[in-house]
Amino acid sequence: MKTLSDEHEAAGVLRGGARTSAERAVESALDPVAAWVGRTIRYQPVHGGLQNENWRLDVEGEDTPYFLKIPGAGSDAFIDRGNAHHAAEQASALGISPKIAHFDPSTGIEIIEFLEDYRACTNGDMKRPEIASEIIRLYRAFNSIEPLPCTKTILDMIVEHHDQALELGTRLPHFWPQLKIEYFSARDALLAGGIDMAPCHNDPMPGNFLIAEGKPMRLIDFEFSSNNERAYELAVMTTEFFFDDVRTAECVEEFYGSATTETIARVQVCGFLADIKWGLWAIVYAQLNESWDYDYQKYGVWKLRRALSRTADQRWGAWIGNI
């Protein structure tokens, strides 16, 4: 049975009618938008965001609805908002991302075009070959833009999160010393082989890819974007969605134009690094935001364990040697 709160949410809230702290935050976010002063605005939540509060806006006199993103507590520890906005502008100019209507650099609050008829991808969608191909198309386009203001490689990210974990007194798993040895081997090999630097999106969460029947996929959320090792862009996707060796090799060929010994090795090693990065991220985030009903500590340890398990593959030494 629907509650009055459910019906209130489904109908949307008229500006001026905020009843909760979240709704008051929306109205505060709308105040600086000079073009909308005095206009009737109705807003309602869009569920599914990992770190942020997301809302749909319907604005009097506008043909298109808009999408409001309010950064979540603790997220500033990971995100350069100015860089993220610059990346979003570049992607929008390429036509692979929605248009930006408003950005507040002091808060990171952003309002973009709401794409009607589109929906966010799901984990199930990511198993479809045509979806992976569309993601690779978007990545290749984004990788071609001018360098971003922020250069942060996967190695930089790991050091950053490890330092944050130490500062917060975060509990690292008992196998961390062993994993750290393998990390140093991977790091040294990647540096010796040379970083293939390119602007990267760095975050293949399914919700960051929007799809619609008969329309091209769109890419959103550039909060983790940076100039980074190009192979990481693909590796974090193939790792996150459990692609097997055959599927990964197919993606490598699409991404690079050919699946060579070196490109496969880079992607495999970067997949290992991706699990370390996101494992440490989750452990740190567990300390920064306790409002989520989700065990980020457990998730982070699982990611780190998966990274270690990759080093047990009999090909690990060859991958390290072939970068």
The residue that leads in pLDDT, 2 or 104, is 104
The residue that leads in pLDDT, 293 or 62, is 62
pLDDT band at 44; cut points 50, 70, 90: very high
pLDDT band at 77; cut points 50, 70, 90: low
Write out pLDDT tens, residues 228-246: 999 999 999 999 999 999 9
Given a contact cutoff of 8 angstroms between Cβ atoms, the answer to whether 67 and 98 are in contact is yes
The mean pLDDT value for 218-225 works out to 95
pLDDT at residue 10, as a whole number: 55
Task: Look at residues 135, 283, 279, 147 and name the one whose alpha carbon lies nearest to residue 225.
Answer: 147
Averaged confidence pLDDT in the chain? 93
Given a contact cutoff of 8 angstroms between Cβ atoms, the answer to whether 263 and 252 are in contact is yes
| pLDDT surpasses 90 at 294 | no
Q: What are phi and psi of 120, to 5 degrees?
A: -75, 145
Give the helix/strand (H/E) hosting 237: helix 230-240
pLDDT at residue 30, as a whole number: 95
- Give the burial string for 9-38 (b: 16+ CB within 10 Å, else e): beebbebeebeeeebebbeebbeebeebee
Write out pLDDT tens, residues 119-158: 999 999 999 999 999 999 999 999 999 999 999 999 999 9
Share of the chain above pLDDT 90, in %: 84
Entry pTM: 0.87
Q: How far is CA 39 from CA 14, 16, 36, 69, 219, in A?
A: 11, 11, 5, 20, 29
Sheet hosting strand 13-14, strand order edge to edge: 13-14, 41-45, 53-59, 66-70, 109-113, 100-104
CA atoms within a 13 Å half-sphere pointing along the CA-CB vector of 98: 23
Write out pLDDT tens, residues 85-108: 999 999 999 999 999 999 998 888
Is residue 42 packed enough to be buried (19+ CB in 10 Å), middle (13-18) or exposed (0-12)? middle
Residue ranges and CATH numbers for the domains of the chain are 4-113 (3.30.200.20), 120-322 (3.90.1200.10)
The mean pLDDT value for 57-74 works out to 90
| pLDDT surpasses 60 at 3 | no
Helix, strand, or coil (residue 50)? coil
| pLDDT surpasses 60 at 1 | no
**Comparing 72-76, 83-87, 158-162, which segment has the lowest mean pLDDT?**
72-76
Write out pLDDT tens, residues 244-287: 999 999 999 999 999 999 999 999 999 999 999 999 999 998 98
pLDDT at residue 52, as a whole number: 81
